[in-house]
Amino acid sequence: AGGEQSPHLFQFHEDGFLVLERFFSAEECDSMRRQIQRIVAEMEVPPHCRTAFSTREEEQLQQQGSSDYFLTSGDKIRFFFEKGVLDEKGNFLIPKEKSVSKIGHALHAYDPVFKQITHSPKVQELGRKLGLERPVVVQSMYIFKSLLAVTPHQDATFLHTEPLGRILGFWIALEDATQENGCLWFIPGSHTNGITRRMVRAASGASTCVEFVGSEPAYEDKQFIPLPIRKGGLILIHGEVVHKSELNSSESSRHVFTFHVMEAKGTTWSKENWLQPTPELPFPSLYT
Domain containing 213: what range? 7-27+112-269
Query: What does the CA dihedral 27, 32, 33, 38 come to, rounded to 10 degrees?
Result: 130
Name the strand (E) or helix (H) holding 260.
strand 256-263
Q: Would 86 be classed as within a structural domain?
A: no
Per-residue confidence at 148, pLDDT binned at 50, 70, 90? confident
Report the chain's terminal Cα–Cα distance, integer Å: 17
**Which pLDDT score, from 0 to 100, does residue 208 have?**
78
Q: Would 94 be classed as within a structural domain?
A: no
Q: Would 135 be classed as within a structural domain?
A: yes
Q: What percent of the chain has pLDDT above 90? A: 79
Alpha carbons 191 and 199: distance in angstroms, whole number: 18
Q: Would 35 be classed as within a structural domain?
A: no
Based on the structure, what is the number of domains in the chain? 1
Q: Would 128 be classed as within a structural domain?
A: yes
The residues pairing with 162 across neighbouring beta strands, listed in sequence order, are 268
Per-residue confidence at 5, pLDDT binned at 50, 70, 90? low
Q: Is pLDDT at 19 greater than 90 in this prediction?
A: yes
Per-residue confidence at 1, pLDDT binned at 50, 70, 90? very low
Report the chain's mean pLDDT, rounded to a whole number: 93
Q: Would 288 be classed as within a structural domain?
A: no
Q: Would 44 be classed as within a structural domain?
A: no
Render pLDDT for 211-268 as a digit per residue (tens, 0 to 9).
999 998 999 999 999 999 999 999 999 999 999 999 898 888 899 999 999 999 999 9
Q: What percent of the chain has pLDDT above 70? A: 98
What CATH number should be reported for the domain holding residue 242?
Answer: 2.60.120.620
CB neighbourhood size of 52 (10 A): 10
> Does pTM top 0.85 for this prediction?
yes
DSSP 3-state percent helix, strand, coil across the chain (nearest 5): 25, 25, 45
Q: Is pLDDT at 80 greater than 90 in this prediction?
A: yes
Q: Would 59 be classed as within a structural domain?
A: no
